[in-house]
Structure 1
Amino acid sequence: MIYQNLITEVKEHLLYITINREKSLNALNRSVLSELATVIDFAKHADEVRGVIITGAGEKAFVAGADIKEFADYDGKKGEELARDGQQKVFNAIENSPKPFIAAINGFALGGGLELAMACHIRIASENAKLGLPEVTLGLIPGYGGTQRLTQLVGKGRAIEMITTANMITAVQAEKFGLVNYVVAQTDLIGKAEEILNFVKQRAPLAVAAAIRAVIASVNEVDGYKVEVESFGKCFETSDFKEGVVAFLEKRKPQFVGK
């Protein structure tokens, strides 16, 4: 599919998504969010996709926030609708995807951009990246899950400090806080994401999906242990489980098919 604001490509079972609004520092607007919702849904259902890498065009920004002009005249009801719709169709859809999403943060990740990165399962930042949630400088708070996911990732104290001061942090600080998994040179950013997903591609797809669901349940559901037990049991019903056991006993690499 051809997009107006995204560049997408499936290569060797990986889906590459580039937000392509470099002149606007890849800011999120209605059109970008709509296209993201479409490609996220595609990734969920496409058997050929085993993992997703999302990044921004250019070397300055991953996503430097939302397009403020679009909601400058909103009232409370419209604001709630904006947040609810975005969370459901994009941010929560990424987090709940059975395919692992990696955010390759190639520059500024601010506001909705950091929220987008936090919705991904793994985050890798380039050395020049700056991260922050500046919404209180506009008289707002993060509305795409930022208050929740930042707290989950860095703890209550760090989250309150970052959100209420609106100060940016460096990639190195983000790694120290647990906000990103790795910091690498910008030239190595996509390569590091590919390295991780190439390991994932060797594993059983249904087990990977079950593992993601169980981990997400640990923070989003009342009883994550119950989800883990149920998911564990369902794995025994898959052909991949039988292949994994036979391959282990025969001392060979398993050939998983995702069934």
Structure 2
Amino acid sequence: MEEHGTRVYDRLTDGRARRLRLAELVEAAATAFPGLVPTSGQLAAERSRAQAGKEGLEIDQGIFLRAVLRSPVAGPHLLDSMLRPTPRALGLLPEFTRTGLVEMESVRLERRDGVARLTLCRDDCLNAEDERQVDDMETAVDLALLDPGVRVGLVRGGEMSHPRYRGRRVFSAGINLKSLHAGDISLVGFLLRRELGYIGKLVRGVLVEGDGSWHAPTVEKPWTAAVDTFAIGGGAQLLLVFDQVLAASDSYFSLPAAREGIVPGAGNLRLGRVAGARLARQVILGGRRIWATEPEARLLADEVVEPELLDGAVEAAVLRLDGEAVVANRRMLNLAEEPPEEFRRYMAEFAFQQSLRLYGEDVLEKVGRFAGRPR
């Protein structure tokens, strides 16, 4: 793959004439180059086992995708392919445009006053992410970006039914460790799709080749996040791509990558830029928890208010991003802060390192321990 990655990719995509998403690409590779990556049948057999009982076939996918993303020809093409709207979103778009409401298992999407309000509603597991939630989030982000009636996006956690937090809003508990223990968190379907799919679209927009504006192939919109109670792991990672973040004063932020044993998505790329290298190491390597009332929290949240005032503060905040020049300026900020080539190189190495971490002895031991108790 190091020597032939670009040619392999060109064969699979007919010379980059076809845009394949990650899952389609690895499936095509398994057919065209037997033995290069696991087949769908092999992966299905792996999926039936707990994480500790798997053979680690996804590591071959990590090797394959590292080479594709490293290629200055194939890598950008794959990243752009992942910015295309999903078929599911395109199918739901007429309904959402007409009614302003789509309710999915993990996300409720409502358009009101030009604001797309994405409410994370996995109330039973504190909005811990699994593949279902990643799919619902990408669908919701696509719809918000494609609907001409939406000018600003807002993401917030809904009220929980979990006994410990019943009736309280929670932003996110991060990756669902029970699903990881059970073998239901995949490299391609969760860990890479999440970063290159809906999170990538929050940053760079949705790609609408052929029917977009002549001056911009992507449709971008500004995004606000509101944090209630906590943003742990993947929830904290997510905050790093929003244009503004508000937090309740009794909430906290945590990115316990070392405790869980895996690489926290693009958090290693972004947290140091946002909060500084020393604090990033304290959080990612040392597991430091940052409370919203700490001075360092101002590096992660633009505004911290008392919980009873958060609703009003959020409404005022989304209005601040509803301006003609906001999209152009956020595009230039994102280009300066995270050039696509830098992101591509990071994700190439992430694909490989994360595939190894999924099968590390420490990870298997830790998720087995965490899986038996609530977050």
Contact conserved, 1:7 with 1:19, CA < 8 A, in 2?
Answer: yes
Structure 2 distance, partners of 1:90, 1:48, is 20
3-state DSSP class of the match of 1:88?
Answer: helix
Q: Distance in 2 between the 1:60 and 1:196 partners?
A: 19
Q: 1:174 to 1:22 in 2, by over 3 A?
A: farther
Aligned length: 219
Partner of 1:35: 136
**Residue in structure 2 matched with residue 244 of structure 1 by the alignment:** none
Match in the other structure for 1:182: 303
Matched-pair contact (CA < 8 Å) for 1:175–1:181: no
Shift of 1:73: 6.4
Q: Take 1:209 and 1:134, find their aligned partners in 2: how far apart are those partners? A: 33
In the alignment, is residue 139 of structure 1 matched against residue 261 of structure 2?
yes
The residue that corresponds to 1:118 in the other structure is 240
Deviations 1:7-48 (A, max 9, x none): 221111011111012221111111111011011111111111
Aligned to 1:150: 271
Root-mean-square deviation (Å): 2.4
- The structural deviation recorded for 1:84 is 1.9
Q: Secondary structure at the match of 1:125?
A: strand
Aligned-partner SS, 1:119: coil
Q: Is the Cα contact below 8 Å between 1:20 and 1:57 reproduced in 2?
A: yes
Retained in 1: the 8 A contact 2:107–2:140? Answer: no
RCO higher in structure (CA 8 A, sep ≥6): 2
- Is 2:305 aligned against 1:196? no
After the TM superposition, which of the residue ranges 64-73 and 132-141 deviates more from structure 2?
64-73
1:74-127, Cα deviation, whole Å (9 max, x unpaired): 6xxx53664221101121211223211111001110001111222222111101
Q: Which amino acid aligns with 2:228?
A: N
Q: TM-score, normalised by structure 1?
A: 0.77
- Computing the radius of gyration over CA atoms, which structure comes out larger, 1 or 2? 2
Sequence identity of aligned pairs in percent? 24
- Distance (Å, rounded) in 2 between the aligned partners of 1:105 and 1:83: 22
Q: 1:18 aligns to what?
A: 119
Residue number in structure 2 paired with 1:220:
338
Structure 1 distance, partners of 2:233, 2:289, is 10
The 8 Å contact of residues 175 and 182 in structure 1, kept in 2 or not, is answered as no
Deviation at 1:128, TM superposition (A): 1.1
Partner SS for 1:22: coil
- Which residue of the partner structure matches residue 187 of structure 2? 79
Contact 2:172-2:230 within 8 A present in 1 as well? yes
Q: Tell me the equivalent position of 1:100.
A: 222
CA-to-aligned-CA distance 1:144-169 (integer Å, 9 cap, x gap):
x1111211110111101111111211
Q: Distance in 2 between matches of 1:50 and 1:7?
A: 18
Q: Which stretches in structure 2 are left out of the alignment for 5+ residues?
A: 1-101, 160-167, 206-219, 342-375
Distance 1:132 1:3 in 2: 27
SS at match of 2:124: helix
For structure 1, list consecutive stretches of 5 or more residues without a partner in the other structure. 224-259
Instruction: Tell me how far 1:187 sits from its aligned partner.
Output: 2.2
- TM-score, normalised to structure 2, is 0.54
Asked if the contact 1:9–1:17 (Cα under 8 Å) also holds between the matched residues in 2, the reply is yes
Q: Which amino acid aligns with 1:138?
A: E
What's the counterpart of residue 62 of structure 1? Answer: 171
